[in-house]
Amino acid sequence: MSVTQLSFAEPFFSIDYAENEKSCYVTQKSMVINLAEHEQENILLPGDRVILPLKAAVVQDITLRNLRRAFIIRDFERCDLSDPENAAAIRRTWKTLYEMSGLERHRGLPYYKSPKFCIGEGKRRIELNLCYVDEGMVPSGPHRDHDRNFDEVHAQILGYGMMRIYDYEDNTHIHQELNMAPGTVHDKMYDAEGKYPWHEYKSVTPCVYCPIELDR
Ligand SMILES: [Fe+2]
């Protein structure tokens, strides 16, 4: 049973990590991401409402119960993306997606990544970070494979974005656009074997999202 203050996204975001907590009171408007996976691991809200595993919600003045493992991003709107000085500070502090991945398809993209934070070990270890996109309507590049074998979803924190799913690599045949506003985690797109369709994140406005990677 613990609540730990995390520093990986500071000074832009104050994130608490709650593990096996019976209850937790949230005063300020905050985003809660349920990082648990199983049906019995719903986060319980007043009035028989729940935050399902691998889903999120924006809450305020509320008691959360049954936190198996969860992120609480306190006062997440404090990070004002419309403030040019704040945006410049994020660009200075976080590495570009290209610096992090080394992939040619990421060169020049206005995507910036915070350091990573890891939860647990071995199977179902989770890696997370935050990603800031400095411009709207910028796709991150379609892909089907990742650098490790993990289950991947994305939580939208600020601004708007989408997960695009394609029939083919040429990215002209779009199956689905899963639109995301703050508090949305898109539905899973991997199958039981961990196979993915071609997919990519695309910003709609300047935004911040949280890639969540669970080792298989
Ligand atoms: Fe991906």
Is omega for the bond preceding 115 within 30 degrees of 0, making it cis? no
- Res. 169 pLDDT band, cuts 50 70 90: low
Residue among 129, 98, 99 at smallest CA distance from 7: 129
Whether residue 196 sits in one domain with residue 122: yes
- How far is 155 from 130, CA to CA, in rounded Å? 9
Distance 85 CA to ligand 1 centre (A): 30
Contact 156, 181 (CB under 8 A): yes
The CATH number assigned to the domain holding 101 equals 2.60.120.990
Name the residue with higher pLDDT: 2 or 57. 57
pLDDT at 170 over 80: no
Whether residue 144 sits in one domain with residue 127: yes
Whether residue 71 sits in one domain with residue 87: no
Distance 141 CA to ligand 1 centre (A): 9
Chain length of the chain: 216
Whether residue 72 sits in one domain with residue 100: no
Distance 24 CA to ligand 1 centre (A): 32
Question: Residue 145: what pLDDT?
Answer: 92
- Res. 184 pLDDT band, cuts 50 70 90: very high
Whether residue 63 sits in one domain with residue 85: no
Distance 214 CA to ligand 1 centre (A): 12
Whether residue 123 sits in one domain with residue 92: yes
Distance 205 CA to ligand 1 centre (A): 20
Whether residue 65 sits in one domain with residue 92: no
Evaluate if pTM is beyond 0.85. yes
Whether residue 122 sits in one domain with residue 171: yes
Its domain, for residue 93, covers: 80-215
Whether residue 121 sits in one domain with residue 50: no
Whether residue 133 sits in one domain with residue 102: yes
Residue among 51, 54, 55, 53 at smallest CA distance from 63: 51
DSSP states of 80-106 as a string? -TT-HHHHHHHHHHSEEHHHHH--GGG
Whether residue 189 sits in one domain with residue 91: yes
Distance 199 CA to ligand 1 centre (A): 6
Whether residue 97 sits in one domain with residue 18: no
Distance 103 CA to ligand 1 centre (A): 13
The CATH number assigned to the domain holding 15 equals 2.60.120.10
- How far is 108 from 90, CA to CA, in rounded Å? 16
Distance 102 CA to ligand 1 centre (A): 15
Count of structural domains, the chain: 2
Residue among 120, 127, 175, 170 at smallest CA distance from 149: 127
